[in-house]
């Protein structure tokens, strides 16, 4: 970070009047400041490294959990689809059986009617 300041001495003040009579008096003053900071932490016992490794392991576990969830959803979707198709086939067979039974009933009614 940095800072710059410019100030001037008023000639209306008593100090300004005294300094004004001084040779080479410059009533304007500029100051500049620059700061640079840096810090680091020694990892003497490997705590920071283990912390990074733990964070990476947590991330990888989350990714694996998400992949497992996607796989489970896909498997359940496929299972439900197969169940629906099987039930549709059974319904079709049952409807044909009803039609056959109605046809037989009609024939029996005609014969014994």
Q: Which residues have a Cβ under 8 Å from the Cβ of 17 and sit 6 or more positions away? A: 11
Mean pLDDT of 37-44: 75
Q: Which helix H or strand E contains 20, and what residues bound it?
A: helix 14-20
Structural domain boundaries of the chain?
Answer: 1-39, 45-113
d(CA 90, CA 21): 114
User: What's the whole-number mean pLDDT along residues 15-37?
Assistant: 74
pTM score of the predicted model: 0.48
Nearest to 11 by CA among 24, 21, 1, 23: 21
* Per-residue model confidence (pLDDT) at position 44: 74
Model pLDDT for residues 88-108, shown as the tens digit of each residue: 999 999 999 999 999 999 999
- Residue-level length of the chain: 113
């Amino acid at each position: 970070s940095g800072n710059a300041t410019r100030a001037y001495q008023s000639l209306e003040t008593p100090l300004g009047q005294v300094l004004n009579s001084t040779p080479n008096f410059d009533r304007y003053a500029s100051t500049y400041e620059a700061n640079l900071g840096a810090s680091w932490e020694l990892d003497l016992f490997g705590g920071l490294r283990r912390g990074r490794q733990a964070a990476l392991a947590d991330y990888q576990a989350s990714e694996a959990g998400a992949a497992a969830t996607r796989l489970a959803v896909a498997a359940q979707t496929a299972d439900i689809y197969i169940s629906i198709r099987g039930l549709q086939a059974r319904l079709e067979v049952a409807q044909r059986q009803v039609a056959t039974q109605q046809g037989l009933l009609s024939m029996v009614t005609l014969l014994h009617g």
